[in-house]
Amino acid sequence: MKKIAFCFLCKDSLKNISLWKKFFTGNEDKFNIYFHFSKKNIIAYKDFFNSKIVPYQETCWGDIYRAIFSLYKGAFNDNNFKYILLSESCIPVKNFLFTYEYLTADDKSFLSFQSNNPTTEWEKSTLIHNLQRYIYNAKKSKNFIYKISIEDWFYSETWNILNKEHVALILNNYYLIEEFKAMKCFAYDENIVCYLLSINNKLDDIRNIKTTFVNWKKAVVDKLGRHPYTYQNLNDLNLHDFEDFLFARKFNDIKGLEGKILF
């Protein structure tokens, strides 16, 4: 039986837990669950479908990959088939069997990244932003431009779904995390996976598909930058937004959500 690893990167708790229980119940032979909490000594959730809590790593905005590495390391030895990276504010928007059959139909990874050939104004804007980030890092660190080729520099969604081969690449190249940190790269969690796949000639092996919906149309701006909209109540929802996705974020705890999402 192929198993799917659900790797939750959490601050202190998993939101909308009733919805997740509805999603997982009855499919216990098809998945494993792993949690990383940014607050130490959290012991809750150990009884949540026999989930495992991986060793703590310090995190901050734009610097979360040590914690992601810890999740992948904890999940890798359990011989999972696919590895889904999720945050505490994610929710499933398809039922478990649909998600499982979709992900086990082949061994491809799903990683939404911006190629160097944009086809829309949104993609053009994303590419320009990514090139600006490359220039910013090059100015900030004297070593960056000599170590990181612009040909391997792509923006990608942090919340992806990887196969075992690509997770193994991450686990076997931990030095890159330390190297990106040492060069003080800005929000490197949005570039490091594509960079690693590109330098290993694996970028063509993935499906460039976005699997987690996020609402940028109602984005908010603060001192750290521009952020996607956070859903607060049932009236916020437009289920048609989620039709082409497996998951969605960012959701606060919403009472009754488990009865609203179509399963």
3-state secondary structure the chain: CCCEEEEEEECCCCCCHHHHHHHHCCCHHHEEEEEEECCCCCCCCCCCCCCEECCCCCCECCECHHHHHHHHHHHHCCCCCEEEEEECCCEECCCHHHHHHHHHCCCCCECCECCCCCCCHHHHHHHHHHHHHHHHHHHHCCCHHHHCCHHHCCCECCCCEEEHHHHHHHHCCCHHHHHHHHCCCCCHHHCHHHHHHHHCCCHHHCECCCCEECCCCCCEEECCEEECCCECCHHHCCHHHHCCCCEECCECCCCCHHHHCCC
Could you state, in order of their start, the residue ranges of all structural domains in the chain? 4-213
Mean per-residue pLDDT over the chain, rounded: 91
Q: Report angle CA 129, 183, 177 to the nearest 5 degrees.
A: 90
80: nearest Cα among 63, 59, 103: 103
Q: 156 with 193: CB under 8 angstroms?
A: yes
Contact indicator for 86, 158 with CB cutoff of 8 Å? no
Tokens representing 212?
A: 């987690």
- pTM score: 0.93
What are 231's two structure tokens?
């859903």
Residue-wise pLDDT for 101-141, tens only, equals 999 999 999 999 998 888 999 899 999 999 999 999 999 99
> What CA–CA distance (Å, rounded) separates 142 from 145?
7
Strand pairing class (247-248; 91-92): antiparallel
Task: Kindly report, residue by residue over 35-45, the tens digit of the pLDDT.
Answer: 999 876 566 67
Architecture of domain 4-213: Alpha-Beta Complex (3.90)
Q: Which tokens in the block code for residue 209?
A: 């598909």
Centroid of chain to Cα 17: 19
AA letter at 184: K
How many residues are listed for the chain in this entry? 263
Give the pair of three-digit tokens for residue 161: 């779904």
The pair of structure tokens assigned to 115 is 């190629």
In tens digits, the chain (263 residues) has pLDDT values of: 899 999 999 988 899 999 999 999 999 999 999 999 987 656 667 779 989 999 989 888 778 999 999 999 999 989 899 999 999 999 999 999 999 999 999 999 999 999 888 899 989 999 999 999 999 999 999 889 999 999 999 999 999 999 999 999 999 999 999 999 889 899 899 999 999 999 999 998 999 999 999 998 888 877 767 788 999 999 889 889 999 999 999 999 999 898 888 66
Location of structure tokens 């649909």: 98
